[in-house]
Structure 1
Amino acid sequence: MADLFDTAPPSDPAPPAGVRPLADRIRPARLSEVIGQTKVLGPDGPLGAMLGAGSLSSLILWGPPGVGKTTIARLLADETDLAFVQISAIFTGVPDLRKVFEAARLRRTQGRATLLFVDEIHRFNKAQQDSFLPHMEDGTILLVGATTENPSFELNAALMSRAQVVVLERLSLADLELLAQRAERELGRKLPLDAKARDALLEMADGDGRAALNLIEQVAAWKLAGKIDPDTLAQRLNKRAAKYDKSGDEHFNLISALHKSVRGSDPDAALYWLARMLEGGEDPRYLARRITRMAIEDIGLADPAAARHCLDAWALYERLGSPEGELALGQAVIYLALAPKSNAGYAAYKNARAEAKRTGSLMPPAHILNAPTKMMKNQGYGEGYAYDHDATDGFSGQNYFPDGLKRPVLYVPVERGFERELKRRLDWFVSQRLKRGG
């Protein structure tokens, strides 16, 4: 269900009839009325199971805006007969927290526990988060925190260990349609939209129930004859910008989706995620860098031209700027998605780093060391070195690893793209080395 506005505390006077926002007027009175979040609230979901067992623990509600965090917290308090207290981490300091805890302690002596709902809990610093711990442990408060950020990054371990994280999902189009029908019942009339315009309106909400109700309230106020079509709707409403935090979870989620779509050889999906990031305002230079890294990690020597193609696209973007230069990035993404894939070079490099760390003090074999001084020659530097250009087929088969180190196999090419040819060459060198005892 939509996180239908943060309502004023119960002690505040209610706004006059007709002034209350639509979202507030249709706020659910019971958890069974919440639209969406059935995975969480159903009998097999974490909250449904807790309520069924009659035992509610501290919670962190993690999800995007407008999916029901405040509503669910308030209804949990109602259904467990807890006093509901709501604060926002943005506007609450340490002195305010002390007052909240003291009031909860007093309330507890009077026989009633407190559900403390903390909106934007990730905005509290570590010390502020720590201040909740003793009051959670002695039962003074049952904490329900709400956050749009990944709790494992934003909340400290002590708080996380005392609260269960519950993940809320963005509302589906079917959920938003149910919300629209509920709004129409409250308004007493149907929205003046044709079928395509209605779908377009719900898509504009982008899974945010609060945003959907705001849009519905705007449309319901229009005085237009006949049904509104998608073009008229688009002219009268500004499309909401897609939710995208360039420094938060969405940033990392979307670049991961782009990378894995390239790795999975799906150019359409890769282009979609690239476009999502660009539409969200991502720096194209960041994308150019990450795309180039994909060429090294996932295509590698199966197509040596891939990295060059990405560097050219990067240079083209620097020359052309936006929006023209973004087309070059799009073409690079298509090229990478359709290129033969190999991480053999990437894996070989990681293997080499691990081997170097393990054997980092071993000297190179003396025969491949230069001997610019007489003393070094006397110590055997360069003695027995075979100049490969003088050998048959330009290959001497000598050992180049430290003496006494069992020869490791670091690079294992795949049978794809140009790397198939590299594997053929490598297999020949290995066979010759075995023949010559190297």
Structure 2
Amino acid sequence: MSDLFQAAGLTPHAPTPLAERLRPQTLGEVVGQEHLLGPEGPIGRMAAAQRLASMILWGPPGTGKTTIARLLAKAGGYEFQQISAVFSGVADLKKAFEQARGRRLAGQSTLLFVDEIHRFNRAQQDGFLPFVEEGVITLVGATTENPSFELNGALLSRCQVFVLKRLDEEALEALLAKAEAVEGRKLPLDSEARFTLIAMADGDGRYLLTLTETLLSIGTDTPLNAVQLGQFLQKRRPAYDKNREEHYNLVSALHKSVRGSDPDAALYWLARMLEGGEDPLFIARRLVRMASEDIGAADPLSLLLTTAAKDAFDFLGSPEGELALAQCVVHMASAPKSNAVYTAFK
């Protein structure tokens, strides 16, 4: 068979992706999630004691959910078994449970990792209950959606829920340094382009490594600037879902930035929502609410500006009308705040 590959000028095995080559071998090597994995973190304590509880890992893509599950199994001496709720059904679950029961009889514990566990329907989720209760499996479920909305209460009551955070700039920079060490060379980027690359990843470590691998494949040592980097990689849209968890996260971030008098942050979150495809009229309604609740009598002009921004958008449309929303957001974030009217009325 290898002769066939050689005759075609191909290698029998495809190169291992950079993300796989950089996969941590111990929990201490995981970048980010210190609040969970550190010596004082709940998962770190479990691993040190080699006594794992069933858990749900809730976080955005590329934050280490699968890696953490694998390393927990390794640290505790568990047999690691993985299924995906996207591709698995009842028959796959039954087979996994039977295998775990057989291992238990032989004195071997099983960590069953279920990726995208929120994709299972309620009946399928109920199927885990007896096996978790009896200790046949230690369940580690991974989800990008709020477990309170997507998972059965009965299953949640038997699992601890841990929230994984998007990787911050420091963690992503550490990941880049590891990639460069493995490859034995620096990325062909100037300092501004390097910062831009990290921003493009939007807290997703796996995506950052995918971009890094693409950059390393171009075979040049001439540093790219930020503009050239954007042209080469074709910047993706930030993660956003208008109907689910990320929608409410960004609405909350915009509201808190205005309330906290941070115009730069408020403008950033407004841009994230618009870039993600949010309805500008929905944003305008939220701004009217903020002007009434958080600014109130301290700056009555804010309420007039929010309604004027809505009218301006109706008149101009997108994208020109978005500037009116941006002007309004900056004014509101810079304005004095008072919730006295809101509090008194409530």
* 1:347 correspondence with 2:343: yes
Matches within 5 A, 1:275-354: 275-350=271-346
- Deviation of 1:338 after TM superposition, in Å, equals 4.1
Which residue of the other structure, out of 148, 161, 164, is the alignment partner of 1:165?
Answer: 161
1:35: which partner in 2?
31
Matches within 5 A, 1:79-118: 79-118=75-114
Which structure's residues are more often helix, by fraction? 2
- Deviation of 1:268 after TM superposition, in Å, equals 3.1
* 1:62 correspondence with 2:58: yes
2:256: which partner in 1?
260
* 1:26 correspondence with 2:40: no
- Deviation of 1:175 after TM superposition, in Å, equals 2.0
With structure 1 as the length reference, what TM-score do the two structures score?
Answer: 0.72
- Deviation of 1:271 after TM superposition, in Å, equals 2.2
- Deviation of 1:18 after TM superposition, in Å, equals 4.9
Which residue of the other structure, out of 147, 150, 155, is the alignment partner of 1:151?
Answer: 147
Q: Name the SS for the 1:318 alignment partner.
A: helix
Cα gap change, 1:328/1:227 in structure 2, threshold over 3 Å: closer, same or farther? closer
Cα gap change, 1:50/1:199 in structure 2, threshold over 3 Å: closer, same or farther? same
Farther off after superposition, 92-101 or 317-326: 92-101
Unaligned 5+ runs, structure 1: 1-14, 351-438
Q: Distance in 2 between matches of 1:219 and 1:137?
A: 48
* 1:187 correspondence with 2:183: yes
Cα displacement string for residues 157-210 of structure 1 (whole angstroms, at most 9, x for unaligned residues): 221121111222222222222222222233233322233322322222122111
Q: Name the SS for the 1:149 alignment partner.
A: coil
Cα gap change, 1:327/1:230 in structure 2, threshold over 3 Å: closer, same or farther? closer
Q: Distance in 2 between matches of 1:29 and 1:321?
A: 52
Farther off after superposition, 94-103 or 190-199: 190-199
8 A Cα contact 2:55 2:139, kept in partner: yes
Cα gap change, 1:16/1:140 in structure 2, threshold over 3 Å: closer, same or farther? farther
Unaligned 5+ runs, structure 2: 1-10
Q: Distance in 1 between matches of 2:189 and 2:297?
A: 55
Give the partner amino acid of 1:324.
E
Structure 1 runs, 4 residues or longer, greater than 4 Å off: 15-18, 301-305
Relative contact order higher in (CA < 8 Å, ≥ 6 apart):
2
Q: Distance in 1 between matches of 2:142 and 2:333?
A: 38
Q: Name the SS for the 2:114 alignment partner.
A: strand
% identical equivalent positions: 61
8 A Cα contact 2:50 2:75, kept in partner: no
2:70: which partner in 1?
74
With structure 2 as the length reference, what TM-score do the two structures score?
Answer: 0.90
The size of the alignment, in residue pairs, is: 336
Farther off after superposition, 291-300 or 145-154: 291-300
Farther off after superposition, 26-35 or 340-349: 340-349
- Deviation of 1:50 after TM superposition, in Å, equals 0.9
- Deviation of 1:320 after TM superposition, in Å, equals 0.9
